[in-house]
Structure 1
């Protein structure tokens, strides 16, 4: 998340057209990142199971297969993206002037995206083995490298030429490439969590099929977000480059503002799964309700802070007065819905923890394509950008209510099944 935010900040210093160009790239780049996230989820779940059962050799084999699979799939998607830059971004509404900057950025970024596959999937292997600290250090170090190189490569210094928006993509590529090299060294030599060779074709088929059973639905659910964001970006583009620049800055600020929600979405599911397996559904309900209450209060505080700081945040990311005004408008409205969005995200991850991935997928579809995109579009027709921002808050409210009631109903059903099983055992 800091990669996108740091890139956006430094590129914003180049001008509105460059800021609008990098804002157009968000839904596309997040699509490739979503594939990495899905493969990481499938990898972690599969390897953790084998390590827990004492089958360490199979765990190493599946770790190797996961890295090979990620390289194959992410590499293929990157090649497709590289060849379709022009039609995809034209479809999103980019102008000819913006396309120049988009091509400079994306042609390099697609190569960087392949380097990202190894750290993301490799970090999932480390987490499956019980190490959550090292992945954080690896990604934080990459973010630091990117932050140091961004101004150097974008604006130039001494013998280093000013590369503009392309410099941001090169900085990202170097940072992720460094992480890629280190994670391979760590997994092969230091931790020996993967095999020091490529898998045979039968081995690769076996490992890939098992990882994809979990990874593909997870990746698909994650990919819905950038698809919906791409549609909304196309709507925003009708209001000009300033509006697109605002939308891009807002999306990246949203990622940072929602970081606690995402942290809970990773820590709540194992707690729910363990208690669900133990038949302690009252603890599942308690944990879910506690987290829902917490995120609503926490994100309300975040909204107040962003509301108070909105003039200063707008000035930091915008040179032009109109862009600054639109960013401030975004910050005065959209963050009000972050707590409601947290309810949706936590409910989604809780459905996965109850082994109901299709419920999680349907909730994502409902949120994005039944509520969020249609209502936001209608809001934009009625009251332009301000209407679109308020409509997004309304869509989150409606989806959060559905998600909360749906999950409570699921818990009641699971409780009835559990009670019935207990009575049958006792009889």
Structure 2
């Protein structure tokens, strides 16, 4: 039987080489995600040029809070992508357009509500992280501005997920690249030319979100006609199936920033220099491992379309090829980090203890990400096959049992380096069991079908 002949026009991922689709979508997705992370990295780079470690440390505290809101956006993006891709795979374009439209509305509204909730408890959250004195004031000021841009960011991420589901990953890339390019242009103007410092960086972070939305709208409406006229009935109809995927995905993604917050609080015990070093590491590793972070969302379209088309042989192949891609990617990034340690320290003007922390991370902690990558591959399968609760279970296990006891070990060894290393080791313990269970889940789904 030839499946290609009956494949719907938009269902590009139910035929051809699975590994090629995995590499292509993850490469485009990682470039887009790198563009998002580059916004934070460029902000931190310019702030570090001001020569004040308190400002650099403040960016670390702010990043831990913003990561929570980004995780909410990622969760809804995963839900929108999965539901839209399934309908594309089944050949129902009208339903895909309806779900996509409802998903964008729900993503924006829900992220707005979460942002408001965090704003109401911002001060105690910063105190729990260990921010005090001038660090507290700078972080709080920066967040009050940048949080205004989080609902628009969630909307642009959901737009990217819809474009991915409709087989237009290049447009997804342009959404994120446009924001990074705008940051590179506007940051020097607002931070240095207008002499606004941290305030300028925060204003730019908000402005670029609307640039990304404009690009996303162009791809969805004039280019693809991928959206339907929104109605309250459609939103009510689609909110339950969307939340069935998005809510566990949000809980799953929240585990990472919660884990980062715990690490930040433990690292803060070793002073401002340690927090400054962790702040830089916290911007480096998401950027370098963007391919792994992107994998969860990018291959979701491949999983979703093939589930919709009942091609479970290709679903299994997607899991295997994603795991292979992860192993190759992490090995390559470890080598690049090891060779580029001096360049990283030079770029951030890191010296002394801060430089030592960065070098330690690049050599010892970075390679453990291969196991975290295995967990992310499993998450992609769980989220798109109807087993999203498994993602939540494994990720919160990593964020609690894989974080707290190991951070205590780091404190016992007496250095911020030890905290980061033991945290990396603890996170690694959950990857392989999750990958095994993902394989078994595919077998169960195929048998049920």
The interval holding the TM-score normalised by the smaller chain is 0.7 to 0.9
2:46 paired with 1:13 = no
2:286 matched to which residue of 1? 255
Verify the 8 A CA contact 1:297 1:339 in the aligned structure 2.
no
> C-alpha separation between the residues in 2 aligned to 1:382 and 1:323?
18
Q: CA deviation at 1:414?
A: 4.0
> C-alpha separation between the residues in 1 aligned to 2:300 and 2:152?
29
Verify the 8 A CA contact 1:108 1:169 in the aligned structure 2.
yes
1:25 matched to which residue of 2? 62
Find 1:41's aligned residue among 58, 63, 78: 78
Verify the 8 A CA contact 1:333 1:389 in the aligned structure 2.
no
Q: Which moved more, 1:297-306 or 1:362-371?
A: 297-306
Closer/same/farther in 2, CA of residues 262 and 82 from structure 1, 3 Å limit: closer
> C-alpha separation between the residues in 1 aligned to 2:211 and 2:242?
26
1:425 matched to which residue of 2? none
Any stretches of 5+ residues in structure 1 without a counterpart?
A: 423-427
Verify the 8 A CA contact 1:315 1:324 in the aligned structure 2.
no
Any stretches of 5+ residues in structure 2 without a counterpart?
A: 1-36
Count of aligned pairs between the two proteins? 410
Find 2:387's aligned residue among 333, 348, 356: 356
2:332 matched to which residue of 1? 301
User: Looking at both structures, which has the greater relative contact order when contacts are Cα pairs under 8 Å and sequence separation is at least 6?
Assistant: 2
Q: CA deviation at 1:22?
A: 0.7
> C-alpha separation between the residues in 2 aligned to 1:125 and 1:268?
13
Normalising by structure 2, what TM-score? Answer: 0.82
Verify the 8 A CA contact 1:337 1:392 in the aligned structure 2.
no
> C-alpha separation between the residues in 1 aligned to 2:302 and 2:217?
30
Q: CA deviation at 1:222?
A: 0.7
Give me the CA root mean square deviation: 2.8
In the TM superposition, 1:73-84 aligns within 5 A as 73-84=110-121
1:101 matched to which residue of 2? 138
Deviation per CA, 1:90-126: give whole Å up to 9, x if none: 1111012012211221111011112212211122222
Find 2:176's aligned residue among 139, 152, 159: 139
> C-alpha separation between the residues in 2 aligned to 1:176 and 1:33?
12
> C-alpha separation between the residues in 2 aligned to 1:40 and 1:244?
31
1:4 matched to which residue of 2? 40
> C-alpha separation between the residues in 2 aligned to 1:126 and 1:271?
13
> C-alpha separation between the residues in 1 aligned to 2:335 and 2:89?
44
> C-alpha separation between the residues in 2 aligned to 1:341 and 1:296?
11
Verify the 8 A CA contact 1:66 1:211 in the aligned structure 2.
yes
2:359 paired with 1:328 = yes
Larger radius of gyration: 1
Normalising by structure 1, what TM-score? Answer: 0.86
Q: CA deviation at 1:405?
A: 4.5
Deviation per CA, 1:159-200: give whole Å up to 9, x if none: xx211112111111111112223434554555443345x523
Closer/same/farther in 2, CA of residues 406 and 122 from structure 1, 3 Å limit: closer
Q: CA deviation at 1:245?
A: 1.4
